Amino acid sequence: MTQDQDVALSVKNLKTFFYTNKRCNKAVNGVSFDIKKGKTLCIVGESGCGKSVTASTIMQLLPTLSRIEEGEITYHSENGDIRIDQLERNGEKMRSIRGSEIAMIFQDPMTALNPVYTIGFQISESLKYHTDLTRTQYKTRAIELLRDMGISLPESRVDDYPHSYSGGMRQRAMIAMAMSCSPKILIADEPTTALDVTIQAQIFELMDTLKKEHGTAIMLITHDMGVVAELADEVAVMYMGNIVEAGTVDEVLRNPTHPYTRALLASIPVLGKGKHQDITAIPGSTPDPYDRPNGCQFADRCAYRIDACDVMPEETQIGRTHRVMCWRHEEVGANAAE
Amino acid sequence: MLTYVIRRILILIPMALIISFLVYLGLELTPGDAVSHMISPEMMASISAERLDALRVSLGLEQPFIVRYWIWLQGMLQGNFGYSTAGGVAIHAILADRLPATLELSAVALVFSTIFGCVLGVISALKRGSTTDNVLTVTGMLGVSIPEFFFGLVAILIFALKLQWLPVGGRLLPGYDSYWDHLPHVIMPALVLSIMMTAGVMRYARSSMLDALSKEYIKTARSKGLPEWRVNLLHGFRVALTPVIVLIGFRLPVLIGGSVIIEQVFQWPGVGSEFISAVRSQDYPLVMMIALLSVMAVLTASLLVDILTALIDPRVRLDK
């Protein structure tokens, strides 16, 4: 991976482990990627593969019994590089990055907003700590933000409590809150999972506009391949704490070279193919994180398994941006091209 | 909101009437009547039936139950609470004598337990799993589970009998009536009652706070870069406060009714100990009045709790 001007944040060989009852869950086990300015990086994978933990690690929002074991998270700010992994968790430096440089929106807008404060208050909290605005300007700015996010009658809605907002409006309010200090990076952790499909499209459209207008780098966590095809510039596919395949959208979706990526794509129903289309589910289930296979984590469920898979495959760079972790990627790639 | 409060107060009126009726009915069902309480059994035997009847008529006791209830209620509304049968003292005079003592004790305990219970509960929740938390948890469990009278007796044994720092009980010694004279008397009962009540509030505040801290909006607050105190107090404690307010609200009746056990243990001349002695001497009018007052205190407290909850939690809407 080459370091260039456009990279907003780079993650190198990141390992985040959780400790429970003297056992260790290697939730994120050596992950590397770059988030580029004005681009969307989609992280896909099934539940429990480490997507959300990766996001929380970048924000240093991990629970107490977990820590960054190894690796680097470097935020390339305008005033030089900042090693996020070396900052104190809730220290002053970390707090000054959160919300103002890197902002995050969460999966369920129903629970992510505090029920006892007005939307306006919750937006102005960010402004209070990261901008020089005065108390009277908070409200004007909050109304402005809500209007930008497509909330009608923002002048009156700003004083409403979250419970009088609909799900979609709450997520818009969350995005307004996240965008309030014009962050360089927006991390969205499955922002539409809790919303219905029509609202999903609106939220993604909104995020796409923000990316284009403000040049915000977006890291979007999702398990919806449709969303990936629609929004992503780059994709990273995660499985059991590793990125098994990464590259541009075209590379990963049109020419998948990892059996897991292929299996994921084969498991999506296609609209218009009718009721009786074959959907190939991935056999088996993810291994117990406390009792992992030695080699390739996907080996047990993989159609391409060979003896060599008992050893963890190394990451292979198969294009300038395309990389994969599989011993048989050439064959898999050739099959995909058929 | 305002209409709701007014409506709730209006609902209180029929409830109070029903309760007063039930209390009066209860009194009616007790054996004997006012006359048999006024005259000793020995005299009763020597008085003729006509004279007793004449006495009953002069007291209005020959009238039907409902009429007597009506007359009693009118008296009540005019502030005439009736007379204690054990000594003929006006009940309002007894209450005027006892209420300040109870208020003094309960108010101290209520304020102390609210403040310390919340502070310790929040500390315990924030330092979950630490030694501080474990010590507070064990102490809290002890405080909740040890009976008040036992705790009180142990305190008397240590501080009054062994160390002789504080008086055993009572409120005022004859001849001493300045505030400073009775300060030593209030310390021990107030502290014992406070500690018992603090333990409950603390356990409650801790679990409520832990619940709030596990919510997603705490993570949102952190992700905005807010300092920890703001995350914990403004986002965590503010939400955790609602159930704690409910608990404290339902303890408000203690201010009127007093803590029967603590007052008894420390010979504190409050409403609670008066209640016990009234029951013992079968002083039914007094028992009835104290019971009625306590019920009214509970009703008022629950109204207060509802209003407070609506004030601090915007999701609670009272207008429906």
User: In this predicted model, what pLDDT tens digit does every residue of B178-201 receive, in sequence order?
Assistant: 666 677 788 888 888 888 888 889
Q: Which residues on neighbouring strands pair with residue A80, listed in sequence order?
A: A77
Contact check, Cβ <8 Å, B226/A104: no
Q: Can you give the pTM of this predicted structure? A: 0.80
Beta carbons of B124 and B236 less than 8 angstroms apart: no
**Residue A41 pLDDT:** 93
Decide the pairing of beta strands A323-324 and A316-317.
antiparallel
CATH 3.40.50.300 location in chain A: 7-101+183-338
**Residue A5 pLDDT:** 65
- State the Cα torsion B284-B286-B291-B293 to the nearest 10°: 150
Decide the pairing of beta strands A234-239 and A40-44.
parallel
CB-based contact, B228 to chain A, within 8 Å: yes
Q: Does the structure show a pLDDT above 50 at A11? A: yes
Contact check, Cβ <8 Å, A126/B225: yes
Q: Which fold has domain A7-101+183-338?
A: Rossmann fold (3.40.50)
Q: Using a CB-CB distance cutoff of 8 angstroms, which residues of chain A are in contact with residue B238?
A: 114, 116-117
Report the distance separating Cα B103 and Cα B105, nearest Å: 5
Helix (H, G, I), strand (E, B) or coil at A42: strand
Sole residue written with tokens 């609909």: A166
Which residue does chain A place closest to B311, by CA atoms? A116
Q: Which of B242, B180, B190, B216 is nearest to A56 (CA)?
A: B216
pLDDT-derived band at B176, boundaries 50, 70, 90: low
Q: Does the structure show a pLDDT above 50 at A287? A: yes
Q: What mean pLDDT do residues A91-103 have?
A: 90
Lowest-pLDDT choice from A59-73, B6-20, B27-41, B59-73? B27-41
**Residue A4 pLDDT:** 57
H or E segment and range at residue A177: helix A167-179
pLDDT-derived band at A2, boundaries 50, 70, 90: very low
Q: Which of A204, A216, A147 is nearest to A179 (CA)?
A: A216
Q: Using a CB-CB distance cutoff of 8 angstroms, which residues of chain A are in contact with residue B217?
A: 111-115
Q: Which among B221, B223, B226 is the nearest to A59, CB-wise?
A: B223
Q: What mean pLDDT do residues B138-148 have?
A: 86
pLDDT-derived band at B26, boundaries 50, 70, 90: confident
Report the distance separating Cα B240 and Cα B234, nearest Å: 10
Q: What mean pLDDT do residues B75-98 have?
A: 80
Q: Does the structure show a pLDDT above 50 at A180? A: yes
**Residue A284 pLDDT:** 82
- State the Cα torsion A95-A96-A100-A102 to the nearest 10°: -60
H or E segment and range at residue B188: helix B179-213
In chain A, beta strands by DSSP E: 7-20, 23-36, 40-44, 66-77, 80-83, 102-105, 185-189, 217-222, 234-239, 242-248, 316-317, 323-324
pLDDT-derived band at A306, boundaries 50, 70, 90: confident
Q: State the ipTM, two decimals.
A: 0.85
**Residue A104 pLDDT:** 92
Contact check, Cβ <8 Å, A59/B221: no
A39-67 per-position pLDDT tens digit: 999 999 888 888 889 999 999 988 888 88
CA torsion sign, B289 to B291 to B294 to B298? negative
Decide the pairing of beta strands A40-44 and A23-36.
unpaired
**Residue B48 pLDDT:** 78
Q: Does the structure show a pLDDT above 60 at B111? A: yes
Beta carbons of A311 and A324 less than 8 angstroms apart: no
**Residue A338 pLDDT:** 55
Percent of chain B with pLDDT over 90: 12
CA distance, residue B132 to nearest chain A CA (Å): 17
Q: For B159, phi and psi rounded to 5 degrees? A: -85, -30
Q: For B186, phi and psi rounded to 5 degrees? A: -80, -25
A156-175 per-position pLDDT tens digit: 999 999 999 988 889 889 98
Percent of chain B with pLDDT over 70: 94
A195-213 per-position pLDDT tens digit: 888 888 888 888 888 888 8
Average predicted confidence (pLDDT) for chain B: 83
Tokens of B263: 């007052």
Q: What mean pLDDT do residues B294-312 have?
A: 86
pLDDT-derived band at B173, boundaries 50, 70, 90: low
Beta carbons of A36 and A234 less than 8 angstroms apart: yes
**Residue A1 pLDDT:** 44
Q: How many CB atoms lie within 10 A of CB A175?
A: 25
pLDDT-derived band at A22, boundaries 50, 70, 90: confident
CATH 1.10.3720.10 location in chain B: 99-312
Helix (H, G, I), strand (E, B) or coil at A302: coil
Report the distance separating Cα B169 and Cα B134, nearest Å: 34
Q: Does the structure show a pLDDT above 70 at B236? A: yes
Q: What mean pLDDT do residues B142-169 have?
A: 83
Residues in chain A: 338
pLDDT-derived band at B174, boundaries 50, 70, 90: low
Q: Which among B217, B225, B235 is the nearest to A95, CB-wise?
A: B225
CA distance, residue B224 to nearest chain A CA (Å): 4
A265-283 per-position pLDDT tens digit: 888 877 777 777 777 788 8
Helix (H, G, I), strand (E, B) or coil at A158: coil
Report the distance separating Cα B170 and Cα B168, nearest Å: 7
Helix (H, G, I), strand (E, B) or coil at B81: coil
Contact check, Cβ <8 Å, B315/A115: yes
Residues in Cβ contact with A86 at an 8 Å cutoff, skipping those fewer than 6 apart: none
Q: Which residues on neighbouring strands pair with residue A217, listed in sequence order?
A: A185
Class of domain B99-312: mainly alpha
**Residue A329 pLDDT:** 84
**Residue A336 pLDDT:** 61
CA distance, residue A117 to nearest chain B CA (Å): 8
